[in-house]
Amino acid sequence: MPAKRDVSKRTVAELVAQLGRMTYGDSFANGLTPAQWTALRYFSRANRFSRTLSAFAEFHATTRGTASQTIKSLAKSGYLTRKRSKTDGRSVHFNLTHKSKKILSDDPFEVLVAVAGELSKSENRTVVLGLERMLCKLAQQQDKHLFGTCPNCKYFQKDGYYLKDGSVYICTLMDEPLEEAETEQLCVSFQPVQ
């Protein structure tokens, strides 16, 4: 068993940045740029309330203009479809096409997922908890949205009763029922449970 060692906060920050650079640099694949891959991954994981230009720009930590160019190129290439919101008619939601779902099976990011799979469950849990704390602190300091999933959100309710469709999951912010699969998708309106 390797000896325990003290690790500086700078070492942690540098390793996180280096891991990101290595992953981002290897993302030029199948004719897509790293930004386009990030967009496809985002839209594949985002819930129906968060598949918007603004939400993607927040998630990708970029401007709406840059996000717009990335999304426009993906839509033009047949990877995303645009759909006007039924509720307000102004906002546009983006969805993956069959073509994008197919190319995501060759996502270069899966190399990093495989490496993470080589860690033990306790190592993965420790890494996730540490990175979530870092991300939360950074988002607070920079006044940015923190993305997350329903089970960890203060707006999530599971009560066994709800609306006409019999859903037991509810987003109390949106006052909408949720399907079970949606509860594990990314949300721009996420607020951590205190």
| Average pLDDT value for residue range 37-66 | 95
pLDDT one-digit tens code per residue, 109-135: 999 999 999 999 999 999 999 998 999
Q: Are 39 and 73 in contact (CB under 8 A)?
A: no
- Asked if residue 135 is part of any domain, the answer here is no
Q: Which of 84-88, 151-155, 160-164 has the lowest mean pLDDT?
A: 160-164
- Residues with Cβ within 8 Å of 26's Cβ and at least 6 positions away in sequence, in order, are 108, 111
Instruction: Return the pLDDT at 122.
Output: 95
Structure tokens belonging to residue 97: 């096409």
- Tell me the CA distances in angstroms from 149 to 25, 91, 178, one per residue in order: 27, 22, 12
Element (H, E) at 176: strand 176-178
- Ordered DSSP codes for 11-27: HHHHHHHHHHHHHHHTT
Instruction: Return the pLDDT at 3.
Output: 65
- Residues with Cβ within 8 Å of 17's Cβ and at least 6 positions away in sequence, in order, are none
The single residue listed with the structure tokens 């325990």 is 4
Together in a domain, 84 and 168: no
Q: Are 20 and 38 in contact (CB under 8 A)?
A: no
- Asked if residue 3 is part of any domain, the answer here is no
Q: Name the residue among 20, 18, 23 with its Cα closest to residue 109.
A: 23
| Average pLDDT value for residue range 54-68 | 94
pLDDT one-digit tens code per residue, 4-43: 777 889 988 999 889 888 887 667 788 899 999 999 999 9
Q: Are 150 and 172 in contact (CB under 8 A)?
A: no
Is residue 45 very low, low, confident or very high in pLDDT (cuts 50, 70, 90)? very high
pLDDT one-digit tens code per residue, 65-104: 999 999 999 999 999 999 987 777 778 999 999 999 999 9
Together in a domain, 31 and 99: yes
Together in a domain, 99 and 160: no
Together in a domain, 33 and 103: yes
